[in-house]
Structure 1
Amino acid sequence: MQHRNDMNSEINNFLKSEGFETSNIYDHGAFDIVARKNLLILLVKTFGNIDGVNKTNSEEMKQLASIFLASPLIIGEKSRNGKLEDGVIYERYDIPTITLNTFKHMILYDEYPEIIADRGGYFVKINGNVLKEYRDKNSLSLKDLADMAHVSRATMYKYENDMVKVNTETAIILEEILGTKITVDINLLKPSESSENLKYSDDENTKILSKLGYGVISTNKSPFDAAAKIKNKESNPLIANVEKNRTPKTLEKMAVPLKDLSLITSSDSVFIVDNEKISESIGEIPVIKSWELNEFESSQDLLKLIKERKNN
């Protein structure tokens, strides 16, 4: 089995060779690599054994994907049931989980998997409209087509209305009946645009940002303390390290990933501190004092000061 460090290095080098900008490798958190090519942003986490995927880390990964409009992916080699198969999606906590070969084929050839491994076997998604068109063309009832495919009328109704996945055996039978492809490739590189599942924080360290109109996600397994986005408005995300009585030397170390990730994700980055002795920037990252935030009336005031200090 390939060591995770080797797998991350291979993925990083592969993405660079395909024109992606890539972050440093962060192998102890919610993601290992962040990569960008044009508007496509990837959050990648690797596992030798995908049974080691952690729910807490996965939830944070999904939250960040929503903030950054990124595609979260887990790349692994095996599970307790054996080696993972190429061209199959193994979901872990609603995050697509695939092999490295499957990942490379998506990037190189725009070839997306269509088979989903789930409890009870392998399943696919189908185009229900194709079933409806076939029935209408051949004057068949739901029950007629259901009988031909050896399923119930209720099940056929769900197939036509894209309400359930179809096991691969039934999909093969349906394609033989219709004489055409009905399975749907699943684009795993489609960004996570839904904000419905975002769980905004409002703790002591981030409530000031919340008052300025930001939706804030506090992080525990990422190289920054919080990620935020202005609610109900198109804007760059904000990633921040927030006052936690850290020493200037510690803050200087934390500035490296903050700068790295802000460039890849097109995010504004900032330190929010209480210490009056700390200068207005650390490692090119603007520093905002907590008392300054209290004087702001809107997010625009914050962004203006971040821009000024970044330019200086």
Structure 2
Amino acid sequence: MTPDRRDLISKIADILLGAGFSVAENRNLRSTCFDIVARKGLNLLLLKMHENIDALKEDTGKELKILSRMLSASPIVIGNRTRKEIVEESFVYERQGLPAINIETFEHFIAENIFPLILARRGGLYVKIDGEILKRERDKREMSFGDLANRVGVSRRTIYEYERGCMDSTLETALKLEGVLDTPIAVPINFTSWLVEEEEIPEQEAEDELHEEVRRTLCALGLKVVLAKKAPFDALTADQTDQQKVVITGLGYVQDKRIEHRIISVEKVSQVAQKYAMFVTDKSKIKKISTEVPVIPKEELQSIEEPEELFKIIDGRHGLKTIKN
């Protein structure tokens, strides 16, 4: 992780903590689809930091979108520049189908609930028009579609589409409209409600034999399993009939020296996301670990016959401070 990116993550975490968010950071993981998970009330954010927002890779963006949908979270990319220019304050950019903003824009949102007005696309600068205000002000002045269109240099059809909310305006045209009507008509861009396209879950390629065994076992129980390659956990496991029953799932070998660190990472994310958690191991014997995450040997998992039984086990063990040998 570069010093610039490390500093960016620290700044964002400080902003969130100062605003009363619960925060979990992934500082020790080099290649992740998100660097911070944060929650305040019902708002759950998955944040990815890049000094250069153009460095966001397609596979990283896809996984971030998939995990965000399953966790009912808002994915946001934060950075300072593109390949050609700085990321402007109060602008929203789009990278890999995700909203991207700079740190100042993010801070205005967190501290003051102020959203930006300008959408920066590769073809230019755009603004979302409040169609109801536009129609009200046009009617108040007894202007026809053609009258207003002639004043700002667009077609009658364009004004009609603005009022229907079916077309974004260029920044230049939006400023002309506001000048003619003497009224603000731009709609703030709520990047936490960004329409993220639903990504098709790619064919699951298990990292090793343990991952594949656990995936097959959970799928046989009728659960939805999405393996995560760029997250501080190994999979998300979900009840097909209850979208709220999502389990942050970790997988590991008891002889792994980093197993305690990995279990704690799962714990931190699950606590902030307010989701179930479990960690499945290859063997039953594991040293005592200070954690609230249920640790389940794969043999025990394979003996479970119904998904409800698994959730009962997770509920029953959640809250234990140590895992017995």
TM-score normalised by the chain length of structure 1: 0.87
> Is 2:144 the partner of 1:133?
no
SS in 2 for 1:19: coil
* Separation of aligned partners in 1, 2:187 and 2:159: 17
Q: Aligned letter for 2:104?
A: N
Q: In the alignment, what sits opposite 2:294?
A: 286
Match of 2:84 among 81, 90, 106: 81
Q: Aligned letter for 2:15?
A: F
Structure 1 unaligned residues grouped into runs of 5+: none
Q: Aligned letter for 2:223?
A: Y
Match of 2:64 among 57, 61, 65: 61
1:295 to 1:280, Cα distance in 2 relative to 1, 3 A? farther
Is residue 117–residue 187 contact of structure 2 (8 Å, CA) maintained in 1? Answer: yes
Q: In the alignment, what sits opposite 1:307?
A: 315
* Separation of aligned partners in 2, 1:201 and 1:310: 31
1:229 to 1:145, Cα distance in 2 relative to 1, 3 A? farther
* Separation of aligned partners in 2, 1:140 and 1:206: 63
Is residue 281–residue 287 contact of structure 1 (8 Å, CA) maintained in 2? Answer: no
Is residue 90–residue 118 contact of structure 2 (8 Å, CA) maintained in 1? Answer: yes
Q: In the alignment, what sits opposite 2:5?
A: 4
Q: In the alignment, what sits opposite 1:13?
A: 14
* Separation of aligned partners in 1, 2:202 and 2:132: 38
Matches for 1:163-174 after TM superposition, within 5 Å: 163-174=166-177
Q: Aligned letter for 2:23?
A: T
Structure 1 stretch 123-132 or stretch 204-213: which is displaced more?
204-213
* Separation of aligned partners in 2, 1:201 and 1:263: 29
Give the deviation of 1:22 after TM superposition. 1.0
* Separation of aligned partners in 2, 1:55 and 1:100: 22
Structure 1 stretch 21-30 or stretch 246-255: which is displaced more?
246-255
Deviations 1:264-302 (A, max 9, x none): 111111123443445898844223344444444443211
* Separation of aligned partners in 2, 1:236 and 1:281: 25
Give the deviation of 1:246 after TM superposition. 6.3
Structure 1 stretch 130-139 or stretch 105-114: which is displaced more?
130-139
Among all aligned residue pairs of Structure 1 and Structure 2, give the percentage whose two residues are the same amino acid: 35
Match of 2:226 among 198, 217, 220: 217
Q: In the alignment, what sits opposite 1:199?
A: 201
1:303 to 1:260, Cα distance in 2 relative to 1, 3 A? same
Q: In the alignment, what sits opposite 2:24?
A: 23
Q: Aligned letter for 1:267?
A: K
SS in 2 for 1:4: helix
Is residue 88–residue 114 contact of structure 1 (8 Å, CA) maintained in 2? Answer: yes
1:119 to 1:125, Cα distance in 2 relative to 1, 3 A? same
Q: In the alignment, what sits opposite 2:35?
A: 32
Give the deviation of 1:311 after TM superposition. 4.7
1:275 to 1:268, Cα distance in 2 relative to 1, 3 A? same
* Separation of aligned partners in 2, 1:210 and 1:181: 53
Match of 2:55 among 52, 55, 68: 52
* Separation of aligned partners in 2, 1:271 and 1:78: 38
* Separation of aligned partners in 2, 1:195 and 1:74: 16
